[in-house]
Amino acid sequence: MAETEKQAETELPKTEEPQTPPKKSKKRLKRLAIVLCSVFVFLSAVLGVLQLGVWHTARAWEQWTPDYEKTDITGILAQETLSETDYETLYRQTGLTPLAIDDMRTSNAGKKRILSIQDFFFEKHEVTSRKFTIFTYMEEMDEYAPMAYLQDGDILVTSTTRVSWWAYGHAAIVVDGEDGLIVESLSPGTKSTMSSAKLSFAYLGDFMILRPKLDAETKAQVAEYAKENLVGLPYQMTTGIFTKKYGKKPLKTTQCAHLVWHAYKKFGYDLDSNGGAIVKPQDIARSKHVEVVQAFGFDLDGLWK
């Protein structure tokens, strides 16, 4: 009996003692957890800073309006010839340069447009920030500013488009001045399109009409090229960094200022004032190859310099 019990004991299966994970595995898991936690904290901080930029700049932005009195300019507009002093007065009263004044005052309708521009120029307008992507927004008015007459090849720019802390702006090229049509590239996830200068720019808190210092025939060719070749391109902010800024092959991507710049570069004119990899609306506004036609919402002494 004792031998049977002893034999049964010896035949019982041996239980294995639980194995503890190696110390190296524990250290790896701990390091991975620390890395993931650090990445989460870093991304949260970045998103927080970007959102803070949206909040701050939306409240800090102010539309420039004249701090001097509005005067009667009908007498100046009635004169046959204008002096430099007359042009300077009209600029201070309307934001219109001689390019616009000479083009508009040749008809009664043009003179009335100048006077309506003056009225709007001196009015106080309510401006609100509209967010159109998570960190991108524009300053908009609830009414449209009257604009100077447009010509083919003119360029429209605004400083109001902002990405968090960065006031990037927006730009477009006029492809049909008579009908006020432009080609523009708007935002990530969209393609460049033809639209209306009035509907895209006249309601913004500021804008400028720029005119390249070229003959009308060349500007008309540039406008036609933009209309025929630069519509339907996917928006890509990094065009010029991860893709060529300019090449012989047709464009595959673009962004607002790059589209305008590329159209003129195709005909041998470089409107990028600093020559950087990314061309910005402000770079075009600072170009020595363009002149201001109309400025609205910008300090007339500094414009967008």
CATH 3.90.1720.10 for domain 127-300, yes or no, is yes
Q: Which segment of 57-61, 69-73, 90-94 scores lowest on mean pLDDT?
A: 57-61
Tell me if 173 sits within 8 A of 220, measured CB to CB. Answer: no
pLDDT band at 192 (very low <50, low <70, confident <90, very high): very high
pLDDT of residue 50: 46
130-159 pLDDT, tens digit per residue, is: 766 665 778 999 999 999 999 999 999 999
pLDDT of residue 222: 98
Beta strands in 16-161 (DSSP E): 127-133, 136-141, 155-158
For the segment 1-27, the average pLDDT, to the nearest whole number, is 57
Instruction: Determine how many CB atoms are found less than 10 A away from the CB of residue 175.
Output: 27
Write the CB contacts of 24 (distance below 8 Å, at least 6 apart in sequence).
none
Kindly tell me if the per-residue pLDDT of 113 is higher than 80.
yes
Tell me if 209 sits within 8 A of 294, measured CB to CB. Answer: yes
Enter the pTM of the model.
0.81
pLDDT band at 46 (very low <50, low <70, confident <90, very high): very low
For the segment 55-76, the average pLDDT, to the nearest whole number, is 82
Higher pLDDT, 261 or 28: 261
pLDDT band at 49 (very low <50, low <70, confident <90, very high): very low
pLDDT band at 305 (very low <50, low <70, confident <90, very high): confident
- Cα distances (Å, whole numbers) of residue 87 to 35, 61, 291: 64, 30, 15
On average, the pLDDT of the chain sits at 86
pLDDT of residue 133: 61
Write the CB contacts of 104 (distance below 8 Å, at least 6 apart in sequence).
96, 110, 111, 113, 114, 148, 149
201-256 pLDDT, tens digit per residue, is: 999 999 999 999 999 999 999 999 999 999 999 999 888 887 778 877 788 999 99
Q: Which segment of 47-56, 95-104, 184-193 scores lowest on mean pLDDT?
A: 47-56
pLDDT of residue 70: 97
Kindly tell me if the per-residue pLDDT of 7 is higher than 70.
no
For the segment 71-79, the average pLDDT, to the nearest whole number, is 97
Q: Where are the domains of the chain?
A: 70-123, 127-300
Rounded Cα gap, residues 180 and 178, in angstroms:
6
Query: Between 108-122 and 84-94, two packed helices, what is the crossing angle to 10 degrees?
Result: 60
249-299 pLDDT, tens digit per residue, is: 788 999 999 999 999 999 999 999 999 889 999 999 999 999 999 999 999
Tell me if 295 sits within 8 A of 65, measured CB to CB. Answer: no
pLDDT band at 60 (very low <50, low <70, confident <90, very high): low
Kindly tell me if the per-residue pLDDT of 24 is higher than 70.
no
Tell me if 103 sits within 8 A of 109, measured CB to CB. Answer: no
The order of strands in the sheet holding 162-163 is 127-133, 136-141, 162-163, 166-167
> Percent of the chain at pLDDT above 70?
78
pLDDT of residue 233: 96
pLDDT of residue 162: 76
